[in-house]
Homo-oligomer: A and B are copies of this chain.
Amino acid sequence: MTQFHLSPNDLPTAWFNALAHLPVPMEPPLHPMTREPVGPADLEPLFPMALIEQEMTPTPEIDIPGAVLDILRLWRPTPLVRAERLEQMLGTPARIYYKDESLSPAGSHKTNTAVPQAYYNQREGIRRLTTETGAGQWGTALAFAAAQYDLECKVYMVRSSFGQKPYRRMLMETWGAQCVPSPTNDEASPGSLGMAISDAVADCMANIDTHYSLGSVLNHVLLHQTIIGLEARQQLALAGETGPDVVIAPCGGGSNLGGLALPFMNDANVRLVAVEPSSCPTLTEGRFDYDYGDTAGRTPLLSMFTLGHDFVPPPIHAGGLRYHGDSPLISLLVKVGRIEAIAYPQRSVFEAARQFSLAEGKLPAPETGHGIRAAIDEALACKETGEERVILFNYSGHGLLDLAAYGEFNAGTMADG
């Protein structure tokens, strides 16, 4: 294993805005009642103006505020790591690199957007944030960020994960946030990200000092995550590579993939690959259509791949990938063929995660395991053909708070949903 570190001075100071580089225009979000395109005023009850602007602007680069950089420097730049021991174990001529986003306070890439979101909200006078969380990684990230700006934080956690992952709740509480299971009105339901979004939005609409914060899907969230790919590009050069041949990341709401891959979207020969669970195959089996972001139909209608806003995925362990829809940005790029999509069943993902763990000494989150599965298969394909491809994937989060899932996998009792 070789780590490639950037100095704190090389931390990117502007985000990469994919909206400036789209091959075709995006369809606008529509108001859930009128079905007219939404304007900034429609979004003001939910988000601060700075984020609404970032959601819509075609400016190619957007400066990262200094106060945000000061907090990002707690863990950024994250290392780029060459997984040489995994390469040896696989016997592949490919060179496998990963960006280690597990080093953030919340243990995943989610903190990259939680910090600027909390910052802009506090600057505009907001006192309290609500949000949804699946596996708990986003809720943990927002809890940490809110504490940095003295904001209250209430997290609606998908009920199936709330039961599976009590440590996530305890971590949120350690940082001063409140965490409750969702849906709040049906204790028998396993919940879904769509339902939890409905709960969090309803809470926000009922409280004037409160805004809502979303951990994925929207343009401004993907924008904040592009710092991952921007760093990776510099680090691949440090490693002596001209660039990646293929960029791989898990895809639930899209911010994991978008963060690593969008900065490479203009590189013609770089393949971009979204990996999703077979049990929630939004990009591989969904339809491209307008649909609500949540289950109750409170959010704007988004133009995206969707399984239908009432689709409730089975309670697999990659809770962060249990979303009926997908980022409109990612969806559009899949539709036009710029991004590929692939789906894997759960047990093959854990098999890959365990193999990675033995080779590289890090335990991946189940979501992250999806990207690892695809990276390993890509490397094995290179073994067949003898190609020396450069594979880059997002090590988006650690699995230390997901060990109950590994326990099931080790015991052979895991469903292969």
A96 to chain B, nearest CB (A): 14
Check A407–B173 contact: CB distance below 8 A.
Answer: yes
A167 to B170: give the CA distance in the assembly, Å.
15
Chain B residues within 8 Å of A144, by CB: 361
> Which chain B residues border A360 with CB–CB below 8 Å?
74
> With the chains together, A75 CA to B360 CA distance in Å?
9
CB of A122, distance to nearest CB on chain B (Å) = 16
- Number of this chain's copies in the assembly equals 2
**Contact, CB under 8 Å: B410 / A105:** no
Contact present for A357 and B400 (CB under 8 Å):
no
Complex Cα distance, B173 from A357, in Å, reads 12
Contact of A175 with B by CB under 8 A: yes
Q: Is the CB of B361 within 8 A of A74?
A: yes
A389 to B410 alpha-carbon distance, docked (Å): 49
A150 to chain B, nearest CB (A): 11
Q: Does A8 contact B (CB under 8 A)?
A: yes
The answer to whether A174 has its CB under 8 Å from any CB of chain B is yes
Residue of B with least CB distance to A175: B358
**Given A2-B8, A105-B361, A171-B363, 13 more contacts at CB 8 Å?**
A2-B73, A75-B361, A103-B103, A167-B400, A167-B403, A170-B404, A170-B410, A171-B406, A173-B410, A174-B363, A174-B409, A174-B410, A175-B357
Task: Kindly list the 4 A-B residue pairs having the minimum CB-CB distance in the complex, ordered from nearest.
Answer: A105-B361, A167-B403, A170-B407, A400-B400
23 A-B contacts (beta carbon < 8 Å): A2-B8, A74-B85, A75-B361, A103-B103, A105-B361, A111-B361, A144-B361, A166-B403, A166-B404, A167-B167, A167-B400, A167-B401, A167-B403, A167-B404, A170-B403, A171-B406, A173-B410, A174-B357, A174-B403, A174-B406, A174-B410, A175-B358, A400-B400
